[in-house]
Structure 1
Amino acid sequence: MLTVPGSVPFETLEEAFGSSSLGIIVVKDLSPQFVDLRRSLLSYASYLANLPQDELAKLEHEQSKWLVGWSCGKETLKDGHFDTLKGSFYVNCNPSFAETKIQAELADRYPGFPEYTALNVWPSESVLPGFEPAFRELCMLITETAALVARACDQYAEGRIKGYKPGYLEHVVTTSHVSKARLLHYFPQPYGSSSGDEDDWCATHVDHGCLTGLTSAMFVDEEKHPPVLSDGFAPLPELDGSPDPKAGLYIRSRSGETVKVGLPKDCLAFQTGEALETITKGKFKAVPHFVRAAGPGKGGRIARNTLALFTQPNLWEMVDEKRDFAAFAKEIVERNH
């Protein structure tokens, strides 16, 4: 576990990223604002997912293959069927993207790639008041923390990976214009609806960026506390945890073991993705993970909300001898959608 601010013992890095590791590091002692920001934004996930369908349709962006704005039922899972168990809201979380000419330059330089060059799509203030500022504020905090984690990862890699470019991961985190954040809402499952598969809520996969920041999940009883904006926004009451102890985030370790990850509400977790594995020629392994749903009779009307922030190289940066990140990302998008 990494403390912010503070140095990272070599043993901690070895435990997080070594050959027998889970490939994940947990960060504690975050900004005092973090707990409230997390609860607020993850509450918004329920409010967003329960908006009328005509409002959600306004937030869809088909041209980007739903890598911008809202989507549900557009992503394919391991057996080829569409994932209707979760709603997704993607945002380019870099302040430079919208507030400067960067977006227009990227769109001009990479025509036909709206997945990473299209402007964000936000619900209006009248529909979901305070959502955009809450989203941006939490993402800024996670990005600042990711830069500290990246610096520690660089120090580890420079001593362990031959030819590793000094400061590479911190460079990605602090200079990229195309990092993405994804707010996720796993819908409550009806009684007896579980498929029985381990990864029925979110199929086993690896992230395709470099370093992914994760909040702990918020579990909400949407039957007792309907997420409807009748009197304005208010954070939703949060359950202490999942009603089913087997439900949640699982990681397949370097040794092939499946391990359930319990993340405290006041902490962040960071794990490595496929782009970093490619860039380091397999020395940093991407982390296979999945989300398991509550079992039959245990789900009720319990929703699960979480946020993932994917730090990614700029589109023109090379990930191997032949592909820049734009080409690499295109391959991933075609595979998943």
Structure 2
Amino acid sequence: MSLPVRLSPQGAVLLSYKDLVARPLELRESIESGFGSGEDALGIVIVEDLPPNFPALREKLLRLSNSFASLPEEVREKYAREESLYSFGWSMGKEVMNGVPDLNKGSYYNNPLVDFPNVSEEEKKAHPMYYNPNVWPEKDEAGVEGFEEAFKELGTFIFEVGCLLSKACESFVAESLVDSSQSIENLISTSQCNKARLLHYFAPTDKPDVVTTAGEESEISDDLCGIHLDHSLITGLCSAIYLFHPSSSSDVDESKPLKAIPAPHPDSGLYIIPRSRSKTSPVKVAIPSNCLAFQTGEALQLCTGGRLRATPHFVQAGSSKTGKNAVEVEGVVGTVTRETFAFFLQPDVGAVVGKDPSGADETFGQFSKRIMEGHY
């Protein structure tokens, strides 16, 4: 038996957390519709009915994302690690998007599950982007108290849901795995390479870079996050929080947290480039605040022989009708930042995920190094 496929208004497949727990094998058709190689698959599913502690975990960490990004530059840079290729701790302006350093956002990377990876020194030197020790703000760093705990708690929550989702994928891809001795769940659950990224998107500039896609009637702006594929197995995503920052200090009440508002512009958010030739425009996918989304990554596409496929996606800032980025909330003028969290669930570096051009086995370490060198 298979449960009926349910879709969001934008076409993303909807899954119930309760079904992931109780009857994952009955979600075969939903997995194929969301992650499969068909033209209408968007490479994303949305998990509903999550345990009730999720909203508080999400909001706590996403507010701390803004708090950290608001620290003085010299404080933030204490937590940057060049030796990890800026893949642990704070990173800003090191990643290349659309051919230029990305200054639109700041990121905080760590593995929520493992502080000190239990691998050889040789592996640490060969793969510093995965096997570096975690980097956490000092416990008494003013303004970001509880950062480490919040990062780990939300990361662990997403990891556990992702493991459940991987079980639901098994019946659909078991016969097509490149390495039949492994399962997707095992590749994720035993890995010390899992990596989370806390993202702070700064208030956008008045004139964002615009990318025009061939054959489309309109322009799309991937100014916040260039069009790309994740290189994970699956990526867990939280719905973003938009925080309003009054422009005038007289409108700031230090005793109250920043106001969370809806997306400031109708076209702000996550977009997916559809596979279907009948769809010529990117599809905006809304993630409800009490839900998690999971996207397919290139490693999953490789290790399933293309049966489950990744789809290109990007984040758009959006622009107001006046062309300015200042917004007004309850009579107060200000700007808006975007905070979100992504957890890249991926195998250890030695796991075979595909074949290289010569036909030899390609490990996740070899594959991801090739991808990373193109972005940094």
Take 2:258 and 2:188, find their aligned partners in 1: how far apart are those partners? 31
Give the counterpart of 2:292 among 261, 268, 275: 268
Higher-Rg member (1/2): 2
Contact kept, 8 Å, 1:253 with 1:259, in 2: the verdict is yes
Are residues 69 and 167 of structure 1, via their aligned partners in 2, closer, same or farther at CA, if it must alter by over 3 Å? same
User: How many angstroms does 1:42 deviate by?
Assistant: 0.6
Are residues 277 and 53 of structure 1, via their aligned partners in 2, closer, same or farther at CA, if it must alter by over 3 Å? same
Give the counterpart of 1:118 among 111, 132, 142: 132
Q: Which has the higher contact order (CA 8 A, sep 6+)?
A: 1
Cα offsets for 1:236-285 (capped at 9, x unmatched): 4311x211101110011222541001010000000110111111222221
User: How many angstroms does 1:31 deviate by?
Assistant: 1.4
Q: 1:304 is matched with which residue?
A: 338
Q: 2:259 is matched with which residue?
A: 237
User: How many angstroms does 1:318 deviate by?
Assistant: 1.2
Q: 1:10 is matched with which residue?
A: 28
Secondary structure at the residue paired with 2:343?
strand
Contact kept, 8 Å, 2:238 with 2:342, in 1: the verdict is yes
Secondary structure at the residue paired with 1:183?
strand
Q: 2:303 is matched with which residue?
A: 279
Take 2:248 and 2:241, find their aligned partners in 1: how far apart are those partners? 14
Alignment of 1:55-204 (within 5 A): 55-78=75-98, 80-95=99-114, 97-98=115-116, 102-103=117-118, 105-127=119-141, 128-158=144-174, 161=176, 165=180, 168-190=183-205, 192-197=206-211, 198-204=221-227
User: How many angstroms does 1:200 deviate by?
Assistant: 1.1
Amino acid across the alignment from 2:368: A
Amino acid across the alignment from 2:301: E
Secondary structure at the residue paired with 1:94?
coil
User: How many angstroms does 1:110 deviate by?
Assistant: 4.0
Cα offsets for 1:49-88 (capped at 9, x unmatched): 111111111011111111111111111112x111100001
Unaligned residue ranges in structure 2 (runs of 5+): 1-13, 212-220, 328-334, 355-359
Alignment of 1:203-242 (within 5 A): 203-223=226-246, 236-239=258-261, 241-242=262-263
Contact kept, 8 Å, 2:193 with 2:346, in 1: the verdict is yes
Amino acid across the alignment from 2:107: S
User: How many angstroms does 1:290 deviate by?
Assistant: 0.2
Amino acid across the alignment from 1:131: F
Q: 1:49 is matched with which residue?
A: 69
Amino acid across the alignment from 1:266: N
Contact kept, 8 Å, 2:239 with 2:340, in 1: the verdict is yes
- The structure with the greater share of residues assigned to strand is 2
Amino acid across the alignment from 2:105: K
Secondary structure at the residue paired with 2:106?
strand
Take 1:82 and 1:163, find their aligned partners in 2: how far apart are those partners? 36
User: How many angstroms does 1:164 deviate by?
Assistant: 7.2
Superposed CA RMSD in Å reads 2.3
TM-score by length of 1: 0.90
Matched, 1:333 2:333: no
Take 2:75 and 2:128, find their aligned partners in 1: how far apart are those partners? 22
